[in-house]
Structure 1
Amino acid sequence: MTPSRVLQALDRFNAAHPWDHNAHYHRWILRQLPRRFGKALDVGSGSGDLARLLATCAESVYGIDANATIVARARDSTFSASVRFSVGDALTDTPPGPYNVITCVAVVHHLPFTDAITLFRRQLAPGGTLVIVGVSRAHSLNDHLLGLAAVPLNLVMGWLKNKGRRAVRPVSMTAPTRPAVMTFPDIVREASRVLPGVRLRRRLFWRYTLVWHHRPSGTVSS
C-alpha cells in the first residue's frame, strides 16, 4: 500500500472513530491545579467541557470564545450558575482579573503568542496557575518521531473511546482549526522570557503543555 493510501485509510478510520485530543488532557489539567480555587478563566472555551470540569473545583468560571455558534451550544449544555460564557476576542474582551486559574487549550496558536501569554500573566492572581495545552509546528527530527509514534496510539485510542463502534464527531471538534506556525523551541524561548520558571513539555497526540505558577513577590520557586 502506498503512503497516500495509508493516509487515506487513516483519515477514514479517524472519521469513523473520532475522539477529542484536547479533551484527553482535561483531567491532566485538573491535576495541575489546587483542589479548590476562586475564579477561573478558560480561554477558547469551545463547547464548555473544560469550563464545566473546572466548576467542580472553582467558585466561578468564565469562558470566552470567538465562535458564537459553539458558545451558544456551551450555554445550552451548562446548568450551573457559577459558569458563564461569552463571545469575544480573548485579548480585548476578557473581563479583567485577577483569576486564580487560567486555562487555554489548543487556542494560543490562533493568537499572537507573546501578546497572549503577557495578558495571561497580567490577569493571573499572585499564587495562581496558568495551564496551556498547545500545538506547535513540527520542525525537528524529535518532533517528527513523536508524531509518528502517536499514529498507532491515536488509532487505539479512537477504537477504545468509541468501543469499536462508528461514532458521531463531538461538538468540541467542530470549531475551526489553524496550523501552528511556531516551533516548540520558539515557544520555549518566548515563554521563558515572559514567564520566568515556566515548565514546558512535548506531549503525545501533537500537543505540548505549559504550566506556570505566578509566585507572589519575594517567593523563591523550588
Structure 2
Amino acid sequence: MSWVTRFLWDHNAFYHRLMLRRLPSSCTRVLDVGCGAGAFATALARRVEKVDALDRSEVMIAEARRVVPPNVTCILGDVLTEPLPPETYDAITSVTALHHLPLDQALPIFARALRPGGVLVAIALPKADLARELPIELVAMVAQRVFAGTFFLLRKLGLGTWYARESTHDVMPVVLDPPLTTREVRAQASALLPGVRVRRLLFWRYLLVWHKP
C-alpha cells in the first residue's frame, strides 16, 4: 500500500452517523438501497430489528453477505424493478447510490415503500457547481487534507479505524460526473416529494431527507 493510499479516507463512512441520527425514534424495518459491501447495513442492524440490504452488483452483495449480522437480508436486485412491498419500511437509506438512479423513477418508488411517518435519508454525489459552490469546494479541499492527516495519525496510534477505506472500495461502481448539481436535485426532489430537504455537505456529498406524511 502506497503512502498516498494510506492517507485516503472514506467520506461515506464519515457521514454514517449523520444518517443514523435521521432515523425515526421508533424504527423496526429499514431498506438500505445500494448497500455496497454492507458497511452501513451493518451499522443499521445495531439500531433496528430488520434490515433489507439491496444492491444490483453481484460482487457487492457477495461482499455484504460475508460481513452483515443475521438480522440483515441481502438482496441482489435493482430498486427500479424489484417489487418492493408498499408501506413496509420505517426508513429507507442510501449511501452514494442515488446519483446512479433517475430521480423521477426512484423517488416515487421509495415513497410508496415507506410507511406513513417513515423517513427517506440519502447521501449522494452532486455534479460540480462551481458558480454556486466554489467556497465550499475550497474549504473541502483544505479540510480533506487536514482530516486525512489527523485520521492517519489516530490509526497509527491504534486509536481506531477512523474512516479507513475498505478493501472493497476500489471495486465499487463510481460515477465520475454525477448528472445533477445539488440545486438540480433539490428542484427535482421537491416536485416529487413535497417537504423534502436537500443540502450540500462539505465533503462532496449532498444529504436528502424526506418525512412521509
Name the TM-score, length of structure 1 as normaliser: 0.84
SS in 1 for 2:153: coil
Give 1:185's match in structure 2, choosing from 183, 186, 203.
183
2 CA distance for matches of 1:132 and 1:87?
20
1:72: Cα distance to partner? 1.0
Distance (whole Å) between structure 2 residues aligned to residue 195 and residue 119 of structure 1: 11
Q: Which has the larger radius of gyration?
A: 1
CA separation in 2, counterparts of 1:107 and 1:124?
18
Residues of 2 paired with 1:165 and 1:127: CA distance?
Answer: 40
**Structure 1 portions without partners, runs of 5+:** 1-11, 216-222
Which runs of 5 or more residues in structure 2 are unaligned? none
Name which of structure 1's ranges 168-177 and 115-124 shifts more when overlaid on structure 2.
Answer: 168-177
Matched, 1:34 2:24: yes
One-letter identity of the residue aligned with 1:191: A
Within the alignment, does 1:22 sit opposite 2:12 as a pair? yes
Give the direction of change, closer, same or farther, for the CA distance of 1:165–1:127 in structure 2 (3 Å limit): closer
SS of structure 2 residue aligned to 1:47:
coil
Instruction: Give the equivalent residue in structure 2 for 1:7.
Output: none
Quote the offset at 1:35 in angstroms. Answer: 3.6
Q: Distance in 2 between matches of 1:94 and 1:48?
A: 21
Q: In the TM superposition, what whole-angstrom CA distance separates every residue of 1:85-129 from its partner, at most 9, and x where no partner exists?
A: 122112112532421100011111111121111111111110100
TM-score normalized with structure 2 length:
0.87
Letter in 1 for 2:211: H
Q: Is the 8 A contact 1:36 1:57 kept in 2?
A: no
2:151 counterpart of 1:154: no
Percent of aligned positions that are identical: 37
Q: Does 1:70 align with 2:60?
A: yes
CA separation of 1:54 and 1:32: change in aligned 2, threshold 3 A: same
Partner of 1:219: none
1:187-211 deviation per Cα after TM superposition (whole angstroms, max 9, x unaligned) = 1111111111111111101111111
Corresponding residue number in structure 1 for 2:45: 55
Alpha-carbon RMSD across the aligned residues, in angstroms, is 2.0
Partner of 1:111: 101
Report the alpha carbon displacement of residue 19 of structure 1 after superposing the two structures with TM: 1.1
Contact 2:30 2:89 in 1 (8 A): yes
Aligned to 1:176: 173
CA contact (8 A) 1:203 1:209 kept: yes
Distance 1:82 1:164 in 2: 32
Q: Which residue does 1:95 correspond to in 2?
A: 84
Cα offset, 1:28, TM superposition: 0.6
Q: Equivalent residue for 1:204?
A: 202
2:173 partner letter: P
- Alignment: residue pair count: 203
Deviation at 1:169, TM superposition (A): 4.1
Q: Is the 8 A contact 1:22 1:106 kept in 2?
A: yes
- Check 1:48–1:200 CA distance in 2 against 1; reply closer, same or farther (3 A cut): same
Cα distance in 2 for residues equivalent to 1:14 and 1:126: 46
Quote how far apart the aligned CAs of 1:173 are: 2.1
